[in-house]
Structure 1
Amino acid sequence: MTVDENRRMVDVYRNLAGKYDIVSNRLYVVGQRTMAYKHLAVQQLDLKPGDTVVDAGCGTGHNLPLLSKAVGPTGRVIGVDLTDAMLARADDRVRQHGLTNVTLQEADLTRFVFPKDTAGIIACFSLTLIREFGTVIQHGFDALAPGGRFVALDYKLPRWWPNFAVPAIGPMVAPFGGTLEMVRRKPFEEVARHAETMRMLERYFGWVYVAVGVAGDRSTV
């Protein structure tokens, strides 16, 4: 991300951090089941005890207890986020749940170095906010162990939504730092490009997707 874009997103999420969970929960009023989608995404990682998993754009840490339980006390969970205020909320969650196998790191995901032979990477509603999401996905697959999974949970335009109605989405994404340009981004295509196999699960009438990419053996690439 550019310096200006980083600064803008940090400002947005510093202001949003204290009320992020409340704002997110309001989406339930319009039928979205955000935590159900996150549970589904975590399940698709197919984590085992002792695995290392990265939560790329962990926000306030909703996924961290789920990931911690999945990898067990011998596993490792790394939560990464751009914004210090969001990580502070995540740290509160880590402490409240007594998660001893979780570490948090403040970093731009486009520059973050994923640990080698990582078993899983999950990105929930974070990739479309990053102009260079392809760089994040490529670096993630470069670090995944063979058979490891990159799971992206995000929004997309459903096939049935007309182009003339795209501007109507602006007010809905603006509180989360979204723009109309971001609405048209398709990280799932990049997951498919790097994965040996990929499948898509759609929810909320096609607005929400979970892309599950399985890494091949990149030592021969």
Structure 2
Amino acid sequence: MTTESQRMVEVYRKRAKRYDVTSNRLYLIGQRTMAYKHLALEQLALRPGDTVVDAGCGTGHNLPLLAEAVGPTGRVIGVDLTDAMLEQAEDRVRRAGLSQVSLVQGDLTTYQYPENVRGIIACFSLTLIGEYAKIVERGYEALDPGGRWVVLDYRLPRWWPDRLIPALGPMIAPFGGDVSMVQRHPWEPVQEGAARHRMLTRYGGWVYVAVGEAPQK
């Protein structure tokens, strides 16, 4: 585990129990996080019986929606590095009675994917991981041809002046990040590894959904 990863684990262990509540505060500044997640999930184009991986599942917000998409014959796997976040996800899964959902504590850079993966989604997680390109590459290796890699995350809009980048620090810090992360572009490996790709933006360009279709092997 890298030093950065260890720091993230420590941050999210402290935040796990109140993570959902504090994240909802983003609505106060006009963000519609659940709407963005619904948009991202739609891009997976999942069908009943599919297998999908939620990469960096956190407290499991996506898991009921993914379970609904793949149905009782499908499979949903939530992967996260932080044990405390997975405890919250496990509670959510148990309360919802989602028998097709399993949770794995693991590092996404080394996670061993199952066979026949039809979709992988990462919501607001890859920018926090320095080795995001490796994660995307390994995901493409695991995806069935035509399966989709979907990343929902933040980026710096083109119109934001460089001199104001330091002002973003207080907004990024509670999520374990810093302003250097604006230089990370997870959408680029999604596009580079895809047979076909597209990009959707929301919230004035601050939020994006990158969609890549896995090529033939």
TM-score scaled by length of structure 1: 0.97
- Letter aligned with residue 160 of structure 1: W
Output aligned runs, 1:55-204, within 5 Å. 55-204=54-203
How much has 1:183 moved relative to structure 2? 1.8
Count of paired positions: 217
Runs of 4+ in structure 1 off by over 3 angstroms are none
- How many Å separate the matches in 1 of 2:136 and 2:97? 30
- Letter aligned with residue 100 of structure 1: S
Give the secondary-structure state (helix, strand or coil) at the position aligned to 1:216: coil
Q: Which runs of 5+ in 1 are unaligned?
A: none
- Letter aligned with residue 124 of structure 1: C
Q: Which runs of 5+ in 2 are unaligned?
A: none
User: Which residue is equivalent to 1:40?
Assistant: 39
- Letter aligned with residue 39 of structure 1: H
Give the secondary-structure state (helix, strand or coil) at the position aligned to 1:150: strand
- How many Å separate the matches in 1 of 2:186 and 2:114? 21
* Cα RMSD after superposing both structures: 0.7
- Say if 2:201 and 2:207, in contact at 8 Å, map to a contact too: yes
How much has 1:116 moved relative to structure 2? 2.8
Question: Equivalent pairs: percent with the same residue?
Answer: 65
Give the secondary-structure state (helix, strand or coil) at the position aligned to 1:151: strand
- How many Å separate the matches in 2 of 1:115 and 1:156? 30
How much has 1:167 moved relative to structure 2? 0.5
- How many Å separate the matches in 2 of 1:178 and 1:209? 18
- Deviations, residues 107-161 of structure 1 (Å, cap 9, x unaligned): 0111111223310000000000000000100000001001100000000000100
